[in-house]
Amino acid sequence: MSHHPENENQYKGLAVNAGVPQPSSVNPNYKKRKRRGKSIHTVSEYVEGIRKGNVALLSKAVTLIESVNPKHYALAQEVIEKCLPYAGNSYRIGISGVPGAGKSTSIDTFGLHVLERGGKLAVLAIDPSSERSKGSILGDKTRMERLSVHPRSFIRPSPSEGSLGGVARKTRETIILCEAAGYDTIFVETVGVGQSETAVHSMVDFFLLIQLAGTGDELQGIKRGIMEMADGIIINKADGDNIQKSELAATQFRNALHLFPPSDSGWTPKVLTYSGFYNLRIKEVWDMVFAYQDFVKANGYFDIRRNEQNMFWMYETINEKLRSHFYNNMEIESLLAEQEKEVKQGKITCFQAANNLLDTYFSQTHHR
Ligand code: GDP
């Protein structure tokens, strides 16, 4: 035993070893990793990687889509353009519901069910609240425990910066990359608050609305517009004591849907009950979702809806670009504050102010 004062006789009974030298607090084997932003690839590297289903490159390309750096944006646009010929070959499904409705639990269960058929699944999200909270919850991997470790799934949270329109555009572009990477089922998740539903509806083939049975007046809290968008309404947590209440809610929804005019697709929206947590009647839900796909592919509406969505996005892109070009114009920025003041003081009308601003903008762009 090595020498230590406490090992002497008077301390008998205690055996204390001499201290060992402390290891360095820095790991000598640690190698500095390349900074994430620096590892940018060429357009063809991205496209090839994505086409081969390389998840790391796909993720990096999505990060470029989400970047506010104009260089990244330009690069992302090139990648998207090159991926476009390989995109479109998927079934895009929007999934919406209020917080607590069971979206993450359901998507976890639904995802596994869909993947049993083979193929690959991407779960994306549009979260309008993420701008404020600076971090998105929707699409978070930790909320989908089983799906997140599945080798054929790709989960990506909502882009967290920008307006709803901007966030929606990024998600739509991400769909294109995912499709080029071979993901043939795409879920787009959103919270049931209204505007974000419209955004999701504008990019999916089927819109699935998750509802809960509650106090007996389920229909009160749900906006008519959202119900009209739904191709299927599914009532979750139909398990245990809740089964009867869920069936009742389903009947109420069915009755309410009867009052709506027939949809353009010719499809009558279905109402089903299920339990995402206990894995009950999941097959029925997905039989319905796939029955819709067969139905609209046969009657041609599948392509009509996609074409309409393309038109919608063309105009959205134009509008967004024009708007940002206008508002980011230096001269406009200062004139805007001035004109605003004059309108508030009643010196000029709002129309005059708008015209002054637009005239200034157009005269500037004409000279270029
Ligand atoms: P989200 O906010 O819409 O994503 O909802 P979550 O998936 O986080 O679910 C909210 C809560 O409802 C959680 O405590 C879940 O365990 C519970 N839950 C989800 N699905 C079911 C279900 O089918 N049955 C029951 N009884 N509870 C469920």
The CATH number of residue 50's host domain is 1.20.5
Q: Give pLDDT tens digits for 155-208.
A: 998 877 667 777 888 999 999 999 999 999 999 998 866 678 888 889 999 999
DSSP conformation class of 237:
-
CA dist., res. 171 & res. 62, Å (int): 9
The SS3 of residue 265 is coil
How many domains, the chain?
A: 3
Measured by CA distance, the residue closest to atom 26 of ligand 1 is: 237
147 and 67 in a common domain: no
212 and 182 in a common domain: yes
80 and 171 in a common domain: no
Measured by CA distance, the residue closest to atom 9 of ligand 1 is: 102
102 and 82 in a common domain: no
User: What pLDDT does 317 receive?
Assistant: 85
Measured by CA distance, the residue closest to atom 12 of ligand 1 is: 102
Q: What is the CA(236)–ligand 1 centre distance, in A?
A: 8
51 and 178 in a common domain: no
92 and 80 in a common domain: no
Sheet holding 232-236, edge to edge: 153-155, 121-126, 185-191, 91-97, 206-212, 232-236, 270-273
Identify residue 136 by its one-letter amino acid code: S
Q: What is the CA(172)–ligand 1 centre distance, in A?
A: 27
> Distances in Å between the alpha carbon of 12 and those of 2, 17, 158, 252?
15, 13, 65, 83
339 and 243 in a common domain: no
Q: What is the CA(25)–ligand 1 centre distance, in A?
A: 44
In this prediction, residues 325-349 reach a mean pLDDT of 94
104 and 63 in a common domain: no
Strands, E, within the chain: which ranges?
91-97, 121-126, 153-155, 185-191, 206-212, 232-236, 270-273
Angle at Cα 306 formed by Cα 302 and Cα 311, nearest 5°? 150
Q: Is pLDDT at 1 greater than 50 in this prediction? A: no
Nearest atom of ligand 1 to the alpha carbon of 274: 23
Closest-CA residue to 207 (of 94, 91, 92) = 94
Residue 345 belongs to what domain range? 329-367
195 and 217 in a common domain: yes
CA dist., res. 60 & res. 48, Å (int): 13
Nearest atom of ligand 1 to the alpha carbon of 242: 26
In this prediction, residues 75-102 reach a mean pLDDT of 94
CA 177 to chain centroid, in Å, comes to: 14
Q: Is 99 in the pocket of ligand 1 (CB under 6 A)?
A: yes
Average pLDDT, rounded, for the chain: 86
